[in-house]
Amino acid sequence: MTKRLPICFILLLTICTAAAAPLPNVVIVYADDMGFGDLKANNPNSKIPTPNLDRLAIEGMRFTDGHSSSGICTPSRFAMLTGQHHWRRFHGIVSAFGPSKFEPNDFTLAKMFKSKGYNTACVGKWHLGWDWDALLKPGVEQETYKDHRGRTKTVYKPSDYDWTLPIPDGPLAQGFDYYFGDGTINFPPYCWVENDRVVEAPTVMMDTDLFKPIPEGRWEFRAGPMVEGWDPYKVLPTLTAKAVTWIERQSADRPFFLYFALPSPHAPIIPNDPYRGRSDAGPYGDFVFETDIMAGRIFQSLEKTGMAKNTIVIFSADNGPEKYAYERLKKFGHWSAEPLRGLKRDVWEGGHRVPFIIKWPGKTAPGSVSGETISQVDLAATLAAAIGYEMDSDEAIDSYNLLPLLSGKTYETPLRKATVQNTWEDVFALRQGDWLFIDASSGEHSDCPDWFNEQRGYTEATTPGLLYNLKEDVSQHNNLYTGHPEKAAEMKELLERYKNGLGCAPHAQ
């Protein structure tokens, strides 16, 4: 006869087992300037193979309506790491040697994870500012140089800095225990930074004539100090190797958070030789393929260490593809933003609707696809719920908890009451369910060639605002502003409330 345990003992055992369950590791792989339609899983007609990211989609949940906060990089990165939209603080990017965009008491993902005992690391592109002025020697003055477009600029030369000093206000100030990267691939200083110090001091000024020729586009490099012998082609593989090494050094008895910020496929478009010719979309397509291979090495390292079963893996990108996409379409028949309108910098969907995949073994059903509108600001509340972090009302004020969605819950009405989109201070958009309102007569910032508009059937709007039903018109052809003035006015009023300080997230309202 089987002896039954007392019910109080069973409850105590259940509580203790739950308490002993290990916290999940978290890895965010963040691409730079990758279009929604570059990913094969999103676009069957893509001419770029992306086998590792496609596999991630098969193993996790793929979002077809996932967004970055901005159509450019610095704001999107800030928003993702803080759970608040960038436009509450700023709009533009951090310039070369620009200061930090963070304030001392800002909530960040890394600070949150660190408070729960996580080991935290950022490897790759930072582009959120440092206090480089702290390294300047007294009395130095800038000199004149030509920038990447031949424009005259004034910059400091290598000898103006004391490179032995620590660099304040970088990743370590935002909760990361470890950082390795080159800051931003096309911005000086061109050198490696580990934690808060340069690995090797720059001694020369950047000169693109010293580099192996570029296969597509321009170098896009800003003038400034560089380590002698610097090779931009080595940046992506070096960063990947560092991230893999860091993962493989982690211990199973302490959870970790890795933010792996890829520098690709952002210009300069520089695929390494083993990846040349591996796509049907030219050098850019090859660079996307190399990016996929590097992401795959991160995933493989998790499998190798046995940590994949308890690791949340998130893949996304900071914004849509660069303007070179127009000529790529003409030459190779590949539209990086397919089926969307617009590119990087635009408020059109192609500027901020990006690849978005979340894999959480045991939580996300393999091969699941969600059409729910989500934003990268939602990662804060979602991951806070995943690790048991109590979010204050003034933290991550635009972030929604996606855990129910990841577990398979469906909603009769949209999960998010509304989603704000913005790149520049004079153009905002508001998404509510199927409806999108743009508070301007155009969502364009990156100049669109006439042939593209003619080919795709786009015409210039004459209304002061724009209104689209994205369920019926995801490519944004049909402006419904005139036919639905009440809807446009209602959405504009809510948009103004958000712009005036109302938090988007339920816990902040």
> Which element (helix H / strand E) includes 374?
strand 374-375
Say which CATH number the domain at 406 has: 3.40.720.10
Answer whether residue 383 is part of any domain.
Answer: yes
- pLDDT tens profile 106-157: 999 999 999 999 999 999 999 999 999 999 999 999 988 776 667 788 999 9
Answer whether residue 134 is part of any domain.
Answer: yes
Answer whether residue 189 is part of any domain.
Answer: yes
Helix 325-332 to helix 282-304 angle (10° resolution) is 100
Answer whether residue 443 is part of any domain.
Answer: no
Answer whether residue 12 is part of any domain.
Answer: no
Q: Which two tokens stand for residue 215?
A: 């296969």
Provide the number of structural domains found in the chain.
Answer: 1
Answer whether residue 138 is part of any domain.
Answer: yes
Q: Is the pTM of this model over 0.85?
A: yes
pLDDT at residue 241 tops 80: yes
> 121 φ, ψ to 5°?
-145, 145
The answer to whether the CB of 316 falls within 8 A of the CB of 76 is no
Burial 166-204 (b: 16+ CB within 10 A, else e): ebbbbbbbbbbbbbbbbbbbbbbbbbbbeebebeebbee
Query: Which residue range(s) make up the domain with 229?
Result: 23-413
Q: Which two tokens stand for residue 349?
A: 């969907």
Q: What percent of the chain has pLDDT over 90?
A: 92
The answer to whether the CB of 32 falls within 8 A of the CB of 125 is yes
Query: How confident is the model at residue 144, as a pLDDT?
Result: 87
Q: What's the helix, strand, coil split of the chain in %, to 5?
A: 30, 15, 50
Query: How confident is the model at residue 6, as a pLDDT?
Result: 54
